[in-house]
Chain A
Amino acid sequence: GQNIDQPTEMTATEGAIVQINCTYQTSGFNGLFWYQQHAGEAPTFLSYNVLDGLEEKGRFSSFLSRSKGYSYLLLKELQMKDSASYLCAVMDSNYQLIWGAGTKLIIKP
């Protein structure tokens, strides 16, 4: 079966760096997405990786290793507004998105 694994919850300190991991087993691979979802709100797009390596976008970076079935989202200079759930999703060979359950990130002052 297809599976996306990510930690249920993480805690970090304001101003610090946090890495959220995502591992996947899917039927084929056509890209990996990260979305941010604040409590009670809609998910919003953060990043898309289809090739191995690191994609940097401001304070957020996303890394992909297709051979390892692994990605991480790196958040730097954490702010209180970064408290949210972070969703990892993989597009399989049928171009269907398979979603992880999300990682709830708690930022403490």
Chain B
Amino acid sequence: TAGITQAPTSQILAAGRSMTLRCTQDMRHNAMYWYRQDLGLGLRLIHYSNTAGTTGKGEVPDGYSVSRANTDDFPLTLASAVPSQTSVYFCASSDSGQNTGELFFGEGSRLTVL
């Protein structure tokens, strides 16, 4: 069972360049999320989507955009990367738009912005 697949696993990016992190799930979950994880901090929500066609801003949305054209895919785009966006990015899904259910995480994408 694939669950959630993220790509790329890791990437080094020059500041000012754009980048899209891909996320695909095969569990038919309604809700999907993008988090970033930084040393010493808890997971921080960037953007979320409660259902296909809708998105919302999380705690740290600036510099990021998302789209949810269908149930399975939830890409995260950095339009013009900055060094502070160096982080590990996790995509997650749950089967409840109310986020009352268990979160299933992808394996993460480690991004370094130089």
Residues of A whose CB lies within 8 Å of any CB of B are 4, 30-31, 33, 35, 41-45, 48, 87, 89, 91, 95-102
State whether A98 touches B108 (Cβ < 8 A): no
**What does DSSP make chain B's interface, helix, strand, loop or mixed?**
loop
Of A30, A41, A45, A98, the contact of B102 (CB 8 Å cutoff): A45
Q: Which of B13-21, B42-50, B67-75, B78-86 contacts A (4 or more CB under 8 A)?
A: B42-50
Closest A-chain residue to B108, C-beta based? A42
In the complex the two chains form, what is the Cα distance from A31 to B99 in whole Å?
Answer: 10
Q: How far is the CA of A41 from the CA of B104 in the complex (A)?
A: 12
Residues in B with CB closer than 8 Å to A95 are 98-100
B101 nearest in chain A by CB position: A48
B2 within 8 A of A: no
Contacting B42 at CB < 8 Å: which of A45, A91, A99? Answer: A99
**Which one, B42, B44, B90, B98, contacts A42 given CB within 8 A?**
B90
* Docked-complex contact A42 and B106, CB < 8 angstroms: yes
Residues in chain B near residue A42, CB distance under 8 A: 90, 105-108
CB contact between B105 and one of A4, A43, A89, A98 (< 8 Å): that residue: A43
